[in-house]
């Protein structure tokens, strides 16, 4: 069984992620400090909390430094906030993100903020994550806006006046992300988690 480390930002509940991972035959473990990262097969940055609080926890715990070291050798999946943390920074906070990608996370411009509910994800390329176009469940106020629809930004979603990055797929770096919540997205969401597990088993 795949041992997945789910990072604890200490600001939210990761129960739904754990439940979904168990449904796809993964073995989730909560990561609170760098010692918990030993012997994990892959890492998930879940979608709970605020940008600043998550950055503070990642830095103070030493996990941010370890993520930089693991990237490219261990599959990493960012969900919602977890995806946003991979970028330079966010309108939500004043602290820098991990800086793996150069874009900035902006407050979305839509009919209702936060954006809560189902949204259509258009897939523009191929990916080891094997995403399928269709409706996924979103719950967010911030996102990478107006991404260029090419690798690694293969999934986009329209919401009001915003075009947002909804799937990131960087196979070479074993780095993946979804702005939506796969653990709340029924069969399509579970298929993404299964694909992430398949990547981990390679």
Based on the residue annotation, tell me whether 29 is a catalytic residue of this protein. no
The whole-angstrom separation of Cα 84 and Cα 145 is 11
State the catalytic residue, choosing from 92, 127, 169, 183. 183
Based on the residue annotation, tell me whether 92 is a catalytic residue of this protein. no
The radius of gyration of the chain's CA atoms, rounded to the nearest angstrom, is 15
List 135's β-bridge partners, or say none.
120
- How far apart, in Å, are the Cα atoms of 142 and each of 36, 42, 84, 99, 172? 29, 26, 8, 17, 26
State the catalytic residue, choosing from 127, 140, 169, 181. 181
- Beta strand pairing status for 134-140 and 153-159? unpaired
State the catalytic residue, choosing from 80, 92, 115, 169. 80
The whole-angstrom separation of Cα 151 and Cα 56 is 30
Based on the residue annotation, tell me whether 80 is a catalytic residue of this protein. yes
> Cβ(143)–Cβ(162) under 8 Å?
yes
The single-letter DSSP state of residue 186 is H
Cβ neighbours of residue 116 under 8 Å, at least 6 residues apart? 138, 139
* Active site (catalytic) residues: 80, 181, 183
């Amino acid at each position: 069984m795949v041992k997945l480390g789910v990072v604890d930002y200490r600001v939210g509940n990761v129960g739904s992620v754990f439940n979904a991972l168990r449904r796809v035959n993964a073995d989730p473990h909560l990561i609170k400090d760098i010692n918990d990262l030993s012997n994990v097969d892959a890492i998930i940055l879940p979608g709970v909390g605020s940008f600043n609080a998550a950055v503070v926890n990642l830095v103070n715990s030493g996990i941010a430094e370890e993520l930089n070291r693991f990237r490219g050798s261990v599959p990493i999946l960012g969900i919602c906030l977890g995806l946003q943390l991979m970028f330079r920074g966010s309108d939500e906070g004043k602290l820098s993100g991990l800086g793996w990608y150069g874009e900035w996370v902006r407050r979305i411009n839509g009919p209702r903020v936060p954006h809560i509910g189902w949204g259509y994800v258009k897939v523009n390329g191929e990916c080891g994550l094997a995403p399928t176009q269709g409706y996924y469940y979103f719950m967010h106020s911030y996102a990478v806006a107006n991404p260029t629809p090419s690798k690694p930004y293969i999934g986009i979603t329209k919401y009001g006046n915003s075009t947002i990055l909804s799937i990131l797929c960087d196979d070479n770096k074993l780095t993946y992300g979804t702005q939506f919540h796969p653990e709340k997205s029924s069969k399509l969401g579970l298929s993404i988690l299964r694909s992430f597990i398949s990547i981990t088993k390679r």
